[in-house]
Amino acid sequence: MNLTASSKSVLLSWSQGQSVEHRYVLRSRIILMLDKGLSYEEIQRKLGTSSGTISKWKRRFEEQDIDGLRDLPRSGKPAVYDEAMQARIMQKACEKPAGGYSNWSQSRIAKELGVSQSTVFRSLKKNALKPHKVEYWCGKSPDPEFESKMLNIVGLYMNPPENALVLSVDEKTQMQALDRTQPELPMKPKKPRRHTSTYKRHGTVSLIAALAVQSGEITANTMESNNSENFLKFLKKLDRTYRNKHLHIIVDNLSVHKNKEVKQWLEKKKRKITMHFTPTYSSWLNQIEIWFGIMTKDVLKDAVWKSKEQLNNQIIQYIKTYNETRAAPFSWQYDGK
pLDDT tens series, the chain, 337 aa: 778 888 888 888 888 876 678 888 899 999 999 988 899 999 999 999 999 999 999 999 998 888 888 887 666 655 555 777 888 898 889 888 888 888 899 999 999 888 889 889 988 988 888 887 887 666 777 878 888 888 899 899 988 888 899 999 999 998 988 887 777 777 888 788 777 677 788 888 999 999 999 999 999 999 988 999 999 999 999 999 999 899 999 999 999 999 999 999 999 999 999 999 999 888 889 999 999 999 999 998 888 888 999 999 999 999 999 999 999 999 866 565 5
Q: Do residues 271 and 152 both lie within one domain?
A: yes
CA distance 311 to 206: 10
Residues 191 and 299 in one domain: yes
Q: Which domain holds residue 262?
A: 146-325
Q: Same structural domain for residues 65 and 31?
A: yes
The verdict on residue 141 lying in a domain is: no
pLDDT of residue 19: 67
Taking the alpha carbons of 123, 125, 126, 129 in that order, is the dihedral positive or negative? positive
Sequence-separated (6 or more) residues with CB below 8 Å from residue 55:
40
Q: Of 79, 81, 117, 111, whose CA–CA distance to 97 is shortest?
A: 111
Residue type, 117: Q
Q: What is the largest CA-CA distance in the chain?
A: 84
User: Based on the structure, what is the number of domains in the chain?
Assistant: 3
Number of helices and strands (H, E) in the chain? 12, 5
- Run of H or E residues at 321: helix 308-325
- Check whether residue 109 and residue 181 sit in a common domain: no
Q: Determine, yes or no, domain membership for 20.
A: yes
Give backbone dihedrals phi and psi of 251, rounded to 5 degrees, phi first: -140, 165
Side-chain half-sphere exposure of 184, counting CA atoms within 13 A: 12
Shared-domain flag, residues 63 and 93: no
Q: Are 142 and 280 in contact (CB under 8 A)?
A: yes
- Is residue 139 one of the residues assigned to a domain? no
Same domain (yes/no): 176, 216 = yes
- Residues in CB range of 237: below 8 A, 6 or more apart: 219, 221
Helix (H, G, I), strand (E, B) or coil at 176: strand
Q: Kindly state whether residue 133 falls inside one of the protein's structural domains.
A: no
Asked if residue 87 is part of any domain, the answer here is yes
On whether residue 330 sits in a domain, the answer given is no
| Residues 95 and 212 placed together within one structural domain of the fold | no
Residues 6 or more apart whose Cβ sits within 8 Å of residue 285: 150, 153, 154, 250, 278, 279
CB-CB contact of 170 with 288 (8 Å)? yes
Please state, in angstroms and rounded to a whole number, the distance separating the CA atoms of residues 198 and 179.
Answer: 9
Last-in-domain residue among 61, 96, 126: 126
16 lies in a domain?
yes
150 plus 286 within the same structural domain: yes
H-helix or E-strand spanning residue 87: helix 83-94
Residue 3's closest CA among 66, 53, 71, 57?
66
**318 contacts: CB under 8 Å, gap ≥ 6:** 295, 298, 299
Based on the fold, state whether residues 222 and 320 are members of the same structural domain: yes
Q: What DSSP designation does 68 have?
A: G
CATH number of the structural domain spanning residue 181: 3.30.420.10
Question: Do 30 and 95 reside in the same domain of the chain?
Answer: no
Residues in Cβ contact with 72 at an 8 Å cutoff, skipping those fewer than 6 apart: none
Q: Say yes or no: 158 and 302 in one domain.
A: yes
Residues 294, 160: one domain? yes
Report yes or no on 76 lying in a domain: no
